[in-house]
């Protein structure tokens, strides 16, 4: 928080007074009111803990702190709030008059030390205004010392301090964090051909694009020249780091408009991912820089991890993404269908459309891997569009060949990230209206985890899909993500029991008990059920006896590749 007395003189100064004596608070309030009632807004906290909580919630402009807070030491409290990030002035009040205590208060981070017996209205208001002015100057000097003058980002010195803080925090908590180094490819050519003003304009815009790609909590700095560095915390795995790096790389690859001239450039990105606080601070920058060097050596406009295993995973991910994008662009993406049959009659009730890919040499690529690389771009929506087109083709063929007297439902999977978009229903409406699937037969499979996050949003999505004339099946059900009260609210059309439970139902008493419980629950809610992954007659007999409605798996029919029409 920046002290705001200089910025807005019309706004009252918010003061938090922390003292275990309420009479002292009333006396201080009376003094400030007598001097300038409208200039100050005073709040009271009676202890160190309540004062700290109030400080975090209200973020006052000034803190007045008593030296004795019951059993707590006011000096320790001043140190605590300064270390927590409070950068407004702190004034310590005491019943004693001691020069050594005065120096200790200033050393703890207070801007002033006042003996209560000497304080009057004039002295107190002067101390508050002086403290605000001093803090304003300190913060401005700090800003100048820690900010890159061209881009407005942190400079290298500030970045080093933030990195030290992150490493220390990581060692205590064991949480993962990442470090990204990037620079612009062939930036010297921009300066040489268009001049340094154009180069500076590009660097400023790069800073803005980095801020747009990153979260508010991420630390972004101009490391020097055309090199930038980023610290990001709160990440779970290396793939999260790769997603951020790729988002940055694609953003920088967009053309720059500098005074009407279009400038194109790319970036090389190096990533260091630390999972358990086991990195030495002195080595962090060197390792991240080594990863950046690897990205350049690989041909620039690349991302590289320092860790070889992570880098191999990144290369596999990039290969899958390129394959999927090329298959979508060339309309060569493949799908298979798998029937969903009635357990009692073995009649085909529906079918699920499943993504299938290979690497061009006949090596199969897992659908989950392809979807994982597509979910952060429109590629996932292109896949959904082609899946719907395949569903319409399969439906037409089924009608011509008499697979079923009634048209079976067609199931299409929606990825969790698709559902997180604000415009998910608008996008689905466009796809559903243009796909040609028969009315009333389309069904979207949505994972239990996706529907568990927000009951109100889940209900909104399901009802929106119903308005499009489609149904909703909860996929992967039985893993315990959705509370029962939540499930009862959702207008679901089908529950698909997770294949991990189906696989273990014969050998595992706990899986068997969960499946039986799920089936009893679904019957009480009048929701049809599908056992997914049934492969043996023993499994089929169990689910038939337990009252399951349908099954899907190799026993009733393996996935069949759809031939292009």
Cβ atoms 528, 507 nearer than 8 A: no
pLDDT of res. 481: 66
323 within domain boundaries: no
393 within domain boundaries: no
Overall average pLDDT of the 287-297 stretch: 85
CA 292 – CA 268 distance, rounded (Å) = 6
444 within domain boundaries: yes
Compute how many other C-beta atoms are within 10 angstroms of the C-beta atom of residue 85. Answer: 10
CA 136 – CA 130 distance, rounded (Å) = 10
Q: Which domain, by its residues, includes 126?
A: 13-146
- The proportion of the chain whose per-residue pLDDT surpasses 70, expressed as a percent, equals 91
CATH number at residue 212: 3.30.70.270
CA 529 – CA 525 distance, rounded (Å) = 11
pLDDT of res. 406: 59
pTM: 0.55
Same domain, yes or no: 105 and 210? no
Same domain, yes or no: 162 and 142? no
Same domain, yes or no: 204 and 226? yes
Same domain, yes or no: 130 and 191? no
Looking at the structure of the chain, the number of domains it has is: 3
The C-alpha torsion from 356 through 359 and 361 to 363, rounded to 10°, is -60
Q: Which of 115, 146, 177 is the last residue of a domain?
A: 146
Structure confidence at residue 168 as a pLDDT band (50, 70, 90): confident
pLDDT tens by residue, 537-562: 999 999 999 999 999 999 989 999 88
358 within domain boundaries: no
Closest to 428 (Cα-Cα) out of 380, 490, 475: 380
Cβ atoms 341, 350 nearer than 8 A: no
Cβ atoms 137, 192 nearer than 8 A: no
Same domain, yes or no: 141 and 250? no
200 within domain boundaries: yes
pLDDT of res. 487: 84
pLDDT of res. 275: 63
Same domain, yes or no: 124 and 204? no
SS3 content of the chain, % helix, strand, coil (to 5): 50, 20, 30
391 within domain boundaries: no
Environment class of residue 493 by beta-carbon count within 10 Å: exposed (0-12), middle (13-18) or buried (19+)? middle
Same domain, yes or no: 555 and 425? yes
313 within domain boundaries: no
pLDDT of res. 431: 94
Place of tokens 């400079």: 155
Same domain, yes or no: 134 and 249? no
Same domain, yes or no: 95 and 213? no
Same domain, yes or no: 91 and 212? no
pLDDT of res. 193: 87
Cβ atoms 35, 25 nearer than 8 A: no
Place of tokens 């450039």: 265
Q: Which of 111, 146, 181 is the last residue of a domain?
A: 146
Compute how many other C-beta atoms are within 10 angstroms of the C-beta atom of residue 272. Answer: 25
Same domain, yes or no: 196 and 53? no
Task: Report which of residues 315 and 420 the model is more confident about.
Answer: 420
Give the lowest-confidence range in 365-374, 467-476, 506-515. Answer: 365-374
CATH number at residue 514: 3.20.20.450
129 within domain boundaries: yes
CATH number at residue 60: 3.40.50.2300
Task: Report which of residues 84 and 188 the model is more confident about.
Answer: 188
Structure confidence at residue 4 as a pLDDT band (50, 70, 90): very low
Same domain, yes or no: 111 and 244? no
Q: Is the pLDDT of residue 277 over 60?
A: no
């Amino acid at each position: 928080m920046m002290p705001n007395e200089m910025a807005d003189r019309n706004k009252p100064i918010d003061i938090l007074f922390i003292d275990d004596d309420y009479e002292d608070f009333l006396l201080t309030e009376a003094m400030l009111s007598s001097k300038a009632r409208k200039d100050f807004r005073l709040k009271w906290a009676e202890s160190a803990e309540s004062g700290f909580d109030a400080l975090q919630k209200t973020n006052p402009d000034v803190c007045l702190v008593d030296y004795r807070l019951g059993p707590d030491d006011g000096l320790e409290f001043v140190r605590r709030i300064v270390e927590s990030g409070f950068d407004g002035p702190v004034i310590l009040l005491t019943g004693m008059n001691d020069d050594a205590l005065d120096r200790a208060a200033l050393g703890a981070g207070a801007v002033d030390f006042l003996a209560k017996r000497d304080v009057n209205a004039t002295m107190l208001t002067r101390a508050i205004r002086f403290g605000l002015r001093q803090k304003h100057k300190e913060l401005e000097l700090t800003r100048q010392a820690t900010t890159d003058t061209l881009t407005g980002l942190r400079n290298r010195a500030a970045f080093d301090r933030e990195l030290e803080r992150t490493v220390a925090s990581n060692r205590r908590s064991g949480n993962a964090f990442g470090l990204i180094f990037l620079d612009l490819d062939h930036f010297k050519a921009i300066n040489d051909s268009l001049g340094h003003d154009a180069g500076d304009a590009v660097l400023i815009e790069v800073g803005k694009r980095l801020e747009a790609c990153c979260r508010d909590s991420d630390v972004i700095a101009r490391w020097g020249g055309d090199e930038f560095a980023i610290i990001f915390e709160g990440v779970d795995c290396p793939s999260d780091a790769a997603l951020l790096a790729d988002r940055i790389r694609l953003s920088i690859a967009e053309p720059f408009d500098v005074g009407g001239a279009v400038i194109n450039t790319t970036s090389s990105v190096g990533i260091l991912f630390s999972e358990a606080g086991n990195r030495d601070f002195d080595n962090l920058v060197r390792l991240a820089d080594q990863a950046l060097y690897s990205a350049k050596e690989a041909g620039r406009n690349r991302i590289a991890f320092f860790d070889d295993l992570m880098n191999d995973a990144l290369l596999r991910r990039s290969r899958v993404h390129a394959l999927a994008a090329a298959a979508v662009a060339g309309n060569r993406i493949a799908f298979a269908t798998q029937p969903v049959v009635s357990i009692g009659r073995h009649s085909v009730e529906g079918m699920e459309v499943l993504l299938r890919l290979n690497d061009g040499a006949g090596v199969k690529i897992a659908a989950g891997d392809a979807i994982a690389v597509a979910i952060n771009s429109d590629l996932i929506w292109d896949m959904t569009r082609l899946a719907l087109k395949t569903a319409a083709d399969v439906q037409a063929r089924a009608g011509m060949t008499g697979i079923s007297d009634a048209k079976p439902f067609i199931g299409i999977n929606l990825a969790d990230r698709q559902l997180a978009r604000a415009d998910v229903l608008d996008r689905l409406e466009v796809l559903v209206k243009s796909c040609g699937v028969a009315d009333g037969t389309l069904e979207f499979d949505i994972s239990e985890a996706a529907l568990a996050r927000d009951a109100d949003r889940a209900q909104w999505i399901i009802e929106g899909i119903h308005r499009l004339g489609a149904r909703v099946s909860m996929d992967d059900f039985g893993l315990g993500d959705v509370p029962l009260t939540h499930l009862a609210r959702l207008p679901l059309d089908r529950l698909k029991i997770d294949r991990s439970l189906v696989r273990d139902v014969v050998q595992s008493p706990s899986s068997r008990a969960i499946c039986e419980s799920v089936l009893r629950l679904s019957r009480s809610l009048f929701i049809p059920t599908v056992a997914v992954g049934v492969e043996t007659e023993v499994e089929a007999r169990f689910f038939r006896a337990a009252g399951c409605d349908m099954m899907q798996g190799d026993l009733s029919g393996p996935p069949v590749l759809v031939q292009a029409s």
